[in-house]
Amino acid sequence: MCITLETLSGCTGDLSTLDPAGPAARSIATLWWGMLIGFTAIFVFVMMLLALAFRPAGAGPARAAGERLWIIGLGLVFPAVILLCLLGYGLWIGERLVPRSGADVTRIEAEARKWSWRFSYEHDPGRSTENVLHIPAGRPVDIAITTADVIHSFWVPRLAGKLDAIPGHVNVLRIEADAPGSYDGLSAEFSGRGYDNHRFAVIAHGPEDWQKFLEGEQ
């Protein structure tokens, strides 16, 4: 896990969920760090209770009452509070990530197959791109995900969470890039020999470049 400075440097990169470049990915990364901190605190207090259990036995009602307080407070109440807070925060994050309709939302269809992705654009029904998804930067984009064969998974770690592509069904995932740039995507679902190379690129365009793309100049 990313604890030391050396390992923290490994938390960045093209496929790192801890190097977010969009609001959805940032919410997921914040939840991850919150879980890490909360579970670390629980682990530390459990180790304290374990050390307490190995202390030499002593007499006296005061000590017994103190030990019961530690066991109930640190062994039961503290972990329960941490876990309930994380559960509530996780549910709140999940509700925020649900796509909602809006006037400024771009919709793109993504169809997976062995071993490529085909992206079709709502503004131009006859236009599609293979293994390269073009989106506007700074605006929400709804990806309607499906598949032509088996189950795959659409995932751009720096922009959003992952969502399965299921035969005969359409799942919608909202992604957004903070700034123009190139972002790596992949299928995170085992779907047969060759799935580890089932990747694609996401190109986020600034306003001028996006307009050129809409007009067919790119």
Q: Quote the mean pLDDT of the chain.
A: 84
Judged by average pLDDT, the poorest of 32-36, 50-54, 109-113, 155-159 is 50-54
Cα–Cα distances (Å) from 75 to 45, 67, 168, 195, in that order, read 8, 11, 48, 44
pLDDT exceeds 70 at position 85:
yes
pLDDT exceeds 70 at position 59:
no
Between CA 146 and CA 68 the distance in angstroms is 55
* Residue 218 binned pLDDT confidence (cut-offs 50, 70, 90): low
The fourth-level CATH superfamily of domain 106-214 is: Cupredoxins -  blue copper proteins (2.60.40.420)
- Token pair, residue 197, equals 């190379």
- Token pair, residue 91, equals 């549910």
- In three state form, how does the secondary structure of the chain look? CCCCHHHHHHHCCCCCCCCCCCHHHHHHHHHHHHHHHHHHHHHHHHHHHHHHHCCCCCCCHHHHHHHHHHHHHHHHHHHHHHHHHHHHHHHHHHHHCCCCCCCCCEEEEEEEECCEEEEEECCEEEEEEECEEEEECCCCEEEEEEECCCCEEEECCCCCCCEEECCCCCEEEEECCCCCEEEEEECCCCCCCCHHHCEEEEEEECHHHHHHHHCCCC
What's the one-letter identity of residue 25? A
Cα–Cα distances (Å) from 85 to 65, 88, 113, in that order, read 28, 5, 40
Which tens digits make up the pLDDT trace of 6-27? 444 456 677 888 899 999 999 9
Residue with tokens 């559960």: 87
- pTM of the predicted model, to two decimals? 0.78
Determine if the peptide bond prior to 155 is cis (ω within 30°).
no
Task: Please state the domain extents for the chain.
Answer: 16-96, 106-214
Which tens digits make up the pLDDT trace of 190-208? 888 877 789 999 999 999 9
